[in-house]
Structure formats: C-alpha cells, structure tokens
Structure 1
Amino acid sequence: MKGALVSRSVLITGGSRGIGLAAARAFQAAGDRVAVTYRTAEPPSGVLAIRCDVTDTAQVDAAFKEAEDAHGPVEVLVCCAGIAKDGLLMRMSEDDFTSVLDTNLTGTFRAVKRASKAMLRARSGRVVLVSSAVGLRGEAGQANYAASKAGLVGFARSMARELGSRNITFNVVAPGLTSTQMADVLTDEQRESLVAQIPLGRLALPEEIASAITFLASPQAGYVTGAVIPVDGGAGMGH
C-alpha cells in the first residue's frame, strides 16, 4: 500500500492461499505486520499463521489475541475465509446450506465483532470483506454460496453506517472467477463456459484482487466506505 505512513497490524482470515495469501504478501510488501488464519491448508511461510476455524467463536477470539500479542491491536481486518458446497437446490442438504453461511457470513460477523472492540477504542479501522461476483449476479447450483456472499454486502453497509462516525470503514471486494485452488476443481468444459461469459476473456489473478483490497485499506481510500468494488473482468456489469 503505497502512501502508508506507519506499519499497521493486519489480520486476514483465510489467508493461507489464493486471494487471502496474495493480500497478505501485498500488505507485507508495504511494510505492515501481517497475521493470517488458516484451517486445513498448510500454513504459509513468512507471516504469522494462526490456526482458526471461523465457525468457532472461541477460536476467533484466541486468534485475535495471538495476533494482538505479536503485532498490537488489529487495525486492518480482511475477511477472506470461505467455503463452497455447490449443488442444485433439490439435491442440497440443509447442512450444505447452513454450513456455507456459517463460515462465509456468520464467520465474518464473528471476526468483525471481535475486531471492532480495538477499532472503537482507537476510533480508527479498516475492514474489507471478500464477497464474490456470484453474490451479486447469482449462479445456478450455488444458492448457498451466493446467499452468503450477498449477505456480506448488507452486513458491510450496515456496519459502515453504524461505525462510520468512529472513522472505521467497511468495504467489499467482489472478485470474479479467479485462478485459485477453488477454480482448479472445474473441468475444462466448465472453465471454458465461464470464461466465455467474461468480457476480458480470462480468469483473474489473486494479485489483482489483492490490489483492490490493499487500496481499500489504504490512506487514499479514507473517504470510501460502504462500497462494493467488482474485480471480475466485467462479468457482473450492472449488478
């Protein structure tokens, strides 16, 4: 983040790979002190990696305490932890639906609530939530995922109104199909079909999503809050 005056304490949930890890590297390059949470993936090297399941409030609290003990109160929170359990509605179990919402949406609630304590005391903070173009435009077979990602928009905008007077900003990045492990499960046919719907004709790079995240957390974005920034190659235009 060019323009940052001091090293800040940054916590990224789901920062062990893909977009989260790219964001962690970008914040590090700007001189920030970065901690990431991970659940099942291998912890990345070079950052403070904290095992945490965001569906467990006690684990979220413990992760924040470990980050605070090492780097000081969290000044920038990026919520990137998420799962997908795709399936057509008639084949989707109730657990498939609720578990995705518990991780992607309620997990974000847990992290934001914990982070807000120190941010309120400091009367300053940056929160960036990683949603998805699917949350804005919908996708067959992803009702649970789309609902969870759409929910982040309403949550962020409510928090922007609730905590804006304390100089805490809340913004959303909505990535399109990105070259990560989540996209690796697609068949060649599925990938080609999805890419054909993208005006720029390719998948995003995690680093391109990270650039939007770091901008929203930067001093240059101090007057940006409640925004939804699509980084989707044009796939979701008009949504």
Structure 2
Amino acid sequence: MSGILEGRTALVVGGAGGIGHAIAAAFRKEGARVTIADRAEVLDAAEATTAIDVTDPASILQAVNNAERLHGDIDILVNAAGVSSERYWDDLDLDEWNRVLSINLTGTFLVCKEVVPRMVRRQHGRVINIASQLAIKGAPGLAHYCASKAGVIALTKSLALEVSPLGVLVNAIAPGPINTPMTDRMSETWKSQKAAELPLGRFGNPEEVAPTAVLLASDPGGNLYVGQTLGPNSGDIMP
C-alpha cells in the first residue's frame, strides 16, 4: 500500500539527528524520496545524504544540487538545522548571539532563498520550518535561541504571504521540549523544572513531532495551512 507522500521528493536540512531525523524517517515511511543534509561529520553514509553548512550560500547551493541529482526536483523542504546554548544575560556575548542566529534564523533564510524559487518556478512546494514554543513564551538563559526561533516564525508568515499564491505553502512547527541531543546539553535543573511545568508532565520524543510534518507535507491534509505555526508541545503553549 502506498503512503500519502508517494512520489514526492523531500530535502530535510538538519536531518541527521533529533527531530529532523524522525521527520526524514516518517517521510520515507509514507513513500517520499528523502535526502538528508547536515554537517559532514554527523552524516550516515548508509542514507541518501549530502553535506551542508547552512551559514554558507555556496555549500547550500551544492547540497541542493546534490539532492536534486539524487532524487529530482524538491517538493518538500524541511529546515530543521538548529543549535542552542544556555547563556544568561550577563554571559551572553555577541559571538554566541551571532552563532545561534546565523544557524537557526539566517540559515533558514539562506536555504529558503535557494530552494523556494525553484518551487515557485514549478508552482508547487511545501516548506516546513522548525521553530520552538520558546519563540512565543521566551525563557531565561535562552534569549538568543528564543529570538532566533521567533524570527523563524515571522519569516515563515511573511514568506507564506508572498509565495502561497504561487503554489508554495510555507508553515512552521514549534515543538515543546523534546528529548534530543540539543536538550541533553541543557542542565539537569533546567530539564527537571521544565518537565514539571508541562501539563503532560514530560518532554516529547522526536517521533511524536514527525507526524505534524507529514500532515503539512501531505495532500489534501496540508492544503489549507498557510503561514501557520503548529505546536506539538505537551501543553506548554495553548494559543
């Protein structure tokens, strides 16, 4: 039996681990041809992969071209590359601010700049940007991360307004705390306090976020989502 993404081609940037990897696996299960793009040192040679540095336009161009050589025109783009660090205001310097924004926000912008015009030319495409519920509520020690993800949400809305009439639907997913290598690097105090705040009382798992991406990528399931931010977040945010 064919899946709901049968015949579609997807590029998952930041797909070697965490939420991105779960999305790639879910897309494959639904029949999509998937290319994972990530840092060279974390790629699995057994998968269809290409190296990428999301801060470097030349690297992005090469990765997108590699993905198209592997599987053809890109129907679905997922921007899941991201970094974070726990830095309170007194310790947050410009270098760390720029590092986080350059990957989380500018990286999303640069990948979209390369891929979205190709989708517009074909008048078809889905873009799914991974944001965070912290973009909406903020968090102590994470001003740089929250600002970057708030920018992702604003970018998603603005881009969606421009390209949805041209057949390209752009949306975001803002997960709550998820058990990934990124959250593993946070302090145990932060993680325990955060879990206690959640109505579900626990962090989510990447496999619980991936179905939201499948929905947004699918037809007809994702057809009416334009500039939306969906929140699999254990009840942390209730818009």
Q: Normalised by the size of structure 1, how large is the TM-score?
A: 0.95
1:215 and 1:41 map into 2 onto residues whose CA distance is: 31
Aligned residue in 1 for 2:192: 192
Structure 1 counterpart of 2:228: 227
1:17/1:44 contact within 8 Å kept: no
Identity of paired residues, percent?
33
Is the 1:131–1:172 contact (alpha carbons within 8 Å) kept by the matching residues of 2? yes
Give the structure-2-normalised TM-score.
0.95
Matches within 5 A, 1:100-111: 100-111=100-111
- SS, match of residue 25 in structure 1: helix
* Residues 34, 47 of structure 1: 8 Å contact kept: no
Quote the offset at 1:89 in angstroms.
1.6
Equivalent-residue separation in structure 1 for 2:9 and 2:82 (angstroms):
22
2:172–2:229 Cα contact (<8 Å) kept? yes
The total of aligned residue pairs comes to: 237
Whether contact under 8 Å (1:54, 1:110) holds in the other structure is yes
- The within-5 A match list for 1:2-41 is 2-4=3-5, 6-39=6-39, 41=41
In 2, the alpha carbon distance for the partners of 1:86 and 1:58 equals 30
The answer for unaligned runs of 5 or more in structure 1 is none
Q: Secondary structure at the match of 1:160?
A: helix
Q: How far, CA to CA, are the matches of 1:165 and 1:88 in structure 2?
A: 42
For the aligned residue pairs, the C-alpha RMSD in angstroms reads 1.4
Structure 2, unpaired ranges of 5+:
none
| Counterpart-to-counterpart distance in 1, 2:155 and 2:110 | 12
Match in the other structure for 1:167: 167
Kindly indicate whether the alpha-carbon contact (under 8 Å) linking 2:125 and 2:168 is maintained by their aligned counterparts in 1. Answer: yes
Amino acid at match of 2:224: Y
Residues 67 and 121 (structure 1), Cα distance of their counterparts in 2 relative to 1, 3 Å cut: same
SS of alignment partner, residue 126 of structure 2: strand
Q: Distance in 1 between matches of 2:21 and 2:180?
A: 11
- 1:84 counterpart residue number: 84
Inter-CA distance 206–105: structure 2 relative to 1 (3 Å threshold): same
Could you tell me which residue of structure 2 aligns to residue 49 of structure 1? 49
Residues 131 and 149 in structure 2, CA contact (< 8 A), matched pair in contact too = yes
| Contact preservation (8 Å) 1:180, 1:206 | yes
Q: Tell me if structure 2 keeps the 8 A contact 1:86–1:144.
A: no
Task: After superposition, give the CA deviation of every residue in 1:34-66 in whole Å (9 maximum; x if it has no partner).
Answer: 011111652135531111110000000000000
Give the match's secondary structure for 1:37.
Answer: strand
What is residue 236 of structure 1 aligned with on the other side?
Answer: 237
